[in-house]
Amino acid sequence: MVEINDQLIIEALNSGKKSDTRRIKEVLAKASEAKGLNFDEVAALVEISSPELLGELFATARAVKERIYGKRLVLFAPLYISNLCSNECLYCAFRARNKELKRRALSQEEIANETRELIKQGHKRVLVVAGESYPREGFDYILKAIETVYSVKEGRGEIRRANVNIAPLTIDEFRLLKSKQIGTYQIFQETYHRETYHKVHLAGKKRDYDWRIESVDRAIEAGIDDVGIGVLFGLFDWRYEILALLQHIRHLENRFGIGPHTLSVPRLEPAIGSDMASHPPHPISDIDFRKLVAILRLAVPYTGIIMSTRESANIRRETFALGVSQISGGSRTNPGGYGTNEKFDEEQFCLGDHRSLDEVIRDVAELGYIPSFCTACYRLGRTGKDFMDLAKPGEIKSHCEPNALGTFMEYLLDYASAQTRATGEKLIEQIAADSDDSQRRIIEKILEKLRAGNRDVFV
């Protein structure tokens, strides 16, 4: 059973308040080794407030992220297939009693059309999202949707990895989900603070705190070894939440030998029919938000940290240098949004970044990062423990950068605007030139195959 020990969290936070500059510098020195931090060390870092120490924290986080993953940033898009929901979550537009929201569940044909629109943009990775209630066919609706996503071919494109964010399942249901060749199963506890959890989840199966928190265990038991977890920041004190999140991670590591493939760090954003979403109980400032991203990178160096389009373009740019390694681009949070654009009376929350995928990619490249649609690890079976055995010592970087450059070149050849292609080709040329001889040969071989007309080339 997953145990979140409030007493340990309170004691650690109280102890962390006594941390002086010397103690914090010692923790940052240890963090720079990219081997993670313990509970008390994380509690010390949350107390950082001076500009000097903040600068050191941010610089250390950037160095650790680049040591593990290099300069690549994985891109994906959420694919909302339904906003039907039986839960009453006060912060969410999808909540069952929200009369302001127009309900919609896409047909399989509509899911195929949405997938086609995403492929036309250049996407290769999607996150299938559904409210926690399904149309008449029940859970089979989700299984058919995944099959539909993978079945769509458009020009030279296809979806190569479908991750899933849906309601908690039984072990048998998770086995069925795995049989559909999903990538990561993603679920957020929303808040680990049990009292707050019950205050904001008033009805529906989601009200069961333990059923939700133990869903990741059931997923791994069923054979899904890439899992993603996260917190919805703003429901409770962020300091408590990251220590509770760390307890959950250590539970997974101790029980299964693997931690989360990804961590997500969404903040509450306005949502139709939700006063709480517009007025978070525990609002988190931009500086504290940047701080928590950096701390999580140092505490769990091997994990992918996801930054969604809830945040503004500026905040997203700033967090790239603090440890973020995956981002969404050109997103919509309403079912059918890619074919019909945003419909505010159908979406889960308001977006902060409305730019197209092409604009996001050009911006990322101009900042010196490699936009990546890579799915090589998933396709080669480098998941779960096999992935983490490479990620923890930083060896995954030797695969990440060449594969990232390959998928970036695919995008430039097949989908990019002229301006983005010029920016991207310049970046690829620069990174290849700066690589050592062995890495450069790998990169050049991949690029040569792509320019000759091959696709889906990876090492």
What letter does residue 394 receive in the DSSP assignment?
Answer: T
Provide the 10 A C-beta neighbour count for residue 423: 19
368: left (phi over 0), alpha (psi -120 to 50) or beta: left
What letter does residue 139 receive in the DSSP assignment?
Answer: T
Q: What is the band of 262 on the pLDDT scale with cuts at 50, 70, 90? A: very high
pLDDT digit string, tens, across residues 120-159: 999 999 999 999 999 889 999 999 999 999 999 999 999 9
Q: What is the band of 399 on the pLDDT scale with cuts at 50, 70, 90? A: confident
What letter does residue 190 receive in the DSSP assignment?
Answer: B
Exposure b/e, 47-59, CB count within 10 A at least 16 = b = bbeeeebeebbbe
The confidence score (pLDDT) of residue 342 equals 58
DSSP 3-state of 261: coil
The answer to whether 332 and 80 are in contact (CB under 8 A) is yes
The confidence score (pLDDT) of residue 368 equals 96
Rounded mean pLDDT, 225-234? 97
CATH fold label, 71-353? TIM Barrel (3.20.20)
Closest to 124 (Cα-Cα) out of 81, 169, 158: 158
Q: H or E element: which one contains 21?
A: helix 21-31
Q: What is the mean pLDDT of the chain?
A: 94
The confidence score (pLDDT) of residue 395 equals 81
Rounded mean pLDDT, 80-95? 96
Q: What is the band of 387 on the pLDDT scale with cuts at 50, 70, 90? A: confident
* Crossing angle for the helix pair 51-69 and 286-299, to the nearest 10 degrees: 50
Is the per-residue pLDDT at 343 higher than 70? no
Provide the 10 A C-beta neighbour count for residue 186: 25
Q: Which residues pair with 247 in a beta bridge?
A: none
Q: Where in the chain is the domain with CATH 3.20.20.70?
A: 71-353
Closest to 74 (Cα-Cα) out of 272, 308, 254: 308
State how far the Cα of 156 lies from the Cα of 143, in Å rounded to an integer.
25
The DSSP secondary structure of 112-129, one letter per residue, reads: HHHHHHHHHHT--EEEEE
pTM: 0.95
Q: Is the dihedral of CA 306, 389, 455, 109 positive or negative?
A: negative
Rounded mean pLDDT, 229-243? 98
